[in-house]
Structure 1
Amino acid sequence: MDIQYLRKWIGRNETQSECVTPSLVQRFNATFDREGETGAGSAAPLLVHLCLAPPAAPTSQLGPDGHPARGGFLPPVPLPRRMWAGGAFTFHDVIRVGETVTRNSTIQDVVVKEGRSGTLCFVTVLHEIDSDGRAVLTERQDIVYRGPDAPGAADKVLPSAPHGAHRVQVNPSATLLFRYSALTFNGHRIHYDAPYVRNEEGYPGLIVHGPMQATMLAQFAETIMGAPPVQFDFRSLSPLFDDADFTLNATEDGAGLRLWTAYVDGPVAMEATATW
């Protein structure tokens, strides 16, 4: 891997915009079994921006896994698997229905590390987001590229997660995963193509999206506290599949909340903190 070549992408920038329509908000709320106002000027749901202005590569330019071919805005990392490793959201104001949201994205860093599973390449992207000219959100996105799992990696036993003081059970149905992929225009086959994910990627089932877990945890935090957080940080630790229900968990931590997802009796999949 030529890290010096990949680091030439640092500083690369792109800008994308999309209007927050009532129909988009309606589909977003339906996906998460939520209710909310969709009229012009209404506050849009938390993290709906993840569904706005997604990359729209032509179908002919997608790779065999459904992702856009390497290169372009993101560096062409020569490792087969790309995942959301974590990130952070700082909320400055609310997005409102009918406004045009603009995302200005910049590659901040490209780093190669050696982990227990082999070579890892981390790409950090900063998104500065405004809505009708108002700064509403700053997002740091951590993307990790890696090779296939080492033999026996899936057999490693991780400790079970504790039960949160607040706890909700979620059924990660194939329909839910497909709907979120459609909302975000995400063609990655690991989220909707069961034969592909089992036969080609070697996973036991469809993979639950990292952004969807982050959205559910942020919504959970908002419901518990009665207001959206000012800061939300999260990190992915292990995957969730559609072969079993998982839980959203939250426990008070000072003035904020510590949150996590986990199988009903399984290890932590995603951990997060929310502050107000």
Structure 2
Amino acid sequence: MPNKTNLKKNFFKKIEKFRDFQAKIGITFTNEKLLFQAFTHSSYVNEHRKKPYEDNERLEYLGDAVLELTVSEYLYKKYPTMSEGNLTKLRAAIVCEPSLVTFANELSFGELVLLGKGEEMTGGRGRPALLADVFEAFIGALYLDQGLESVTSFLNKVVFPKIDEGAFSHVMDFKSRLQELIQRDGKGVLDYKILEEKGPAHNKEFVATVSLNGEVIGSGVGRSKKEAEQHAAEQGLQKLGEFPQK
């Protein structure tokens, strides 16, 4: 059995970790209990029944909704001509488990999670579902503590720059996005051309270009004409400054 001195030491170490974390992200919680709860797994609560710990599941529920709202608003404003279907697809890629795990890992959330011994021994600290839940719970805690504006400010540092950099562009229809951009800004007419078709029938490769008012703004290679045109449109978007070049 651990003695009271060791228990106190461990407790103060945890408090210090959370204080350091707040300094790192530039956010100070008014109600630190909400912050601790966001990182408290149910397995930890089960092992400390005599103490008034509460797990993060309710905060996760709230954070999920807050995250969807804030990301939806950001995409709605950033892409004024994007269709509802494409906005939904893009949002789904941003709030899906692998993306949330990436955000959580970048901020070392795993190091802060309070786990039961069994969960700790089976690698729970690095489990994707657990990390994604903790990220959502943190968003829920931040919302309750400081409101939507603070959540948006936090996402402006952690999530939104990745959208701007094209990190989720794999779910985008680049041709539609380029067309929307041209129509929105009244820039003129787009024209796609297949310049080259090479290779045997079972392994063809196509080279495409996209022109704006007669000037080539992008080229791309693909296994089909559609794929080549998508890559050309992606390059066109880069040239027009929609997101940084790779």
TM-score of the two chains, using structure 2 as the length reference: 0.28
Structure with the largest fraction of helix: 2
Structure with the largest fraction of strand: 1
Q: Name which structure has the greater RCO, CA cutoff 8 Å, separation 6+.
A: 1
